[in-house]
Amino acid sequence: MVADITLKSISKKFKNNTALANINLTVRDKEFFVIFGPAGAGKTTLLNVIAGLYLPEYGNLYLNGVYFNYVEPEDRNIAMVFEDYALYPHFTVFENIASPLKSPKYKESKAVIEKEVTRVARILKIDHLLERNISELSNGQRQRVGLGRALVRTPNVFLMDEPITHLDAKLRHQMRAELKEMQKNLDTTTIYVTHDYLEALSLGDEIAILNEGKIEQIGTPDDIYFYPHNEFVASSFGEPEINFFDALVTDDKQLSIFEEAKIQDIPDIVKNKLDTSARSIRVGIRPKDIKYSFVKENDYSVECSVYSFEPLGAKAVLTVEKNGNQIRLVVPSILQMDMDQHVYIELDINKAMFFGPEKINLFSKFLKDAKGEVIWQS
């Protein structure tokens, strides 16, 4: 079964609030497509539009090139996992999972239902709960019942709305791996909504970043992580968050960060592409690309004072301060750091990203042909 989904200029409003504004995207057959965004970005609304639960005010939906704005949800052959489970409270676990196979649309014989439900329940490790009532389940178990109800049939598309957010960390990790495996085996197009960047990066074949109803970027996990289109995308991926600084480009095309003149040479590739008229620039650099030392090692070292030190097991997040900028970096947690202690940091400018005043990545337009060439981002 081929299932390509195309959304063209989809817009959706609730009263005067724009939930989705001009969404264009294509989900290719058998792809694991992740929609990523913060709370309130419109992710669930987008899923509901695809499921047929909301009618968009504007724009067209195509399934395999066929216009299907007005196809009823029950006729779309789409299976959805809801964030709040949306289980039938008056049914048992078995009846919940069996529900699609008993419906007039996807009716199966009793024997098939029995077999399929047991199979799915075994995968999700809820086979011992089949006779229970929904009220007797924990949240994690409910979420798996919700997953089971979707997985029990073979739809055109799976829609998953944060299906593993309510699981505890260990189970979530395990389910993440299993979902990936399952999708490979099922070979079915999946659209997956999440606000967890790790889920997005590990599961997605392609990721769309949604913010305030608009798409910020669509790309592979590598694209998103290494070549973010703008500061929003850059800051959404990575923990601790990427650091941004205001910087000035000097006359001889050197970079002045933290109001210290001529901090560093800009890589040639940047220099060549840099618009000479642009004087101020925003530099983004991930915490892992900043080195620290207790002594001044070279001219590029910047003296900072320790602002906070959070040990997180083997690693720790060190926040230092320099002229009002707070800079996060990752250090081994065995270090002893005191507040206001002086340390030196060195930015690996070859791995930095450069953003214009509008917070747009200055070089993202070159990225497609510059892959590999763009050494500072690899």
Partner 1 sequence: MKKKMIAILQNIALLLYAFYAIFPLVWLLILSFKHDSDMFNTTFIFTPTLENYRALFSDGEYIGYFLDNIIVSFGAIALSIVVGVPAAYALARFDFKGRDGIAFTFLSFRFAPEILVVLPLFLLYQELGLYDTYVGLIWVFQVLSLPLLIWILRGYFEDIPVEVENAARLDGYSWWQVFIKIVMPLIRPGLVASALLSLIFVWNNFTFSLLLAGQDVTTTTVAMLQYVASDTVHYGQMAGAVLIASLPIIILALSIQKHLVRGLSMGSVKG
The answer to whether the beta carbons of residues 101 and 113 sit under 8 Å apart is yes
CB of 139 to partner 1, least distance (A): 9
Q: Smallest distance from the beta carbon of 71 to partner 1, in angstroms?
A: 12
CB of 86 to partner 1, least distance (A): 4
Measured torsion, CA atoms of residues 269, 270, 271, 272, in degrees rounded to the nearest 10: 50
Rounded distance between C-alpha atoms, residue 261 and residue 106, angstroms: 70
Least Å from the CB of residue 153 to partner 1? 8
Q: For strand 342-347 and strand 302-312, is the pairing parallel, antiparallel, or unpaired?
A: antiparallel
> What's the closest the beta carbon of residue 69 comes to partner 1, in angstroms?
16
Q: Which is nearer to partner 1, 135 or 336 (CB)?
A: 135
**Region for residue 161 given its phi and psi (left: phi exceeds 0; alpha: psi -120 to 50; beta: otherwise):** beta
**Residues ≥6 apart with Cβ < 8 Å to 104:** none
- Tokens in use for 295? 């002594």
Whichever of 83 and 265 has its CB closer to partner 1, that residue is 83
- The residue written with tokens 């930015």 in the block is 347
Q: Shortest distance, CB of residue 330 to partner 1, whole angstroms?
A: 40
CB closer to partner 1 out of 126 and 270: 126
By the criterion CB under 8 A, which residues form the site for partner 1?
48, 51-53, 72-74, 76, 78-80, 82, 84, 86-90, 99-100, 103-106, 134-135, 149
Residue 142 dihedral angles phi and psi, to the nearest 5° = -60, -40
Q: Which residue number, 116 or 231, has a Cβ lying nearer to partner 1?
A: 116
CB of 60 to partner 1, least distance (A): 21
- Please give the torsion angle defined by the CA atoms of residues 52, 33, 41 and 198, in that order, rounded to the nearest 10 degrees: 140
Measured from the CB atom, the residue of 53 and 335 that comes closer to partner 1 is 53
Residue with tokens 């060439």: 373
Contact 231, 358 (CB under 8 A): no
CA 173 distance to own-chain centroid = 15
Nearer to partner 1, 133 or 202 (CB): 133
153 Cβ contact list (under 8 Å, min separation 6)? 79, 100, 101, 106
Minimum distance of partner 1 from residue 88's CB (angstroms): 6
Using CA atoms, how far residue 182 sits from 60, 160, 189, 307, 320, in Å, is: 30, 13, 12, 45, 43
Closer residue to partner 1, CB minimum distance, 12 or 229 = 12
CB closer to partner 1 out of 78 and 209: 78
In the complex, the smallest distance separating the C-beta of residue 46 from partner 1, rounded to whole angstroms, is: 14
Q: Is the bond preceding 240 in cis, omega lying within 30 degrees of 0?
A: yes
- 3-state SS class at 220: coil
Closer residue to partner 1, CB minimum distance, 72 or 252: 72
DSSP assigned state of 126 = -
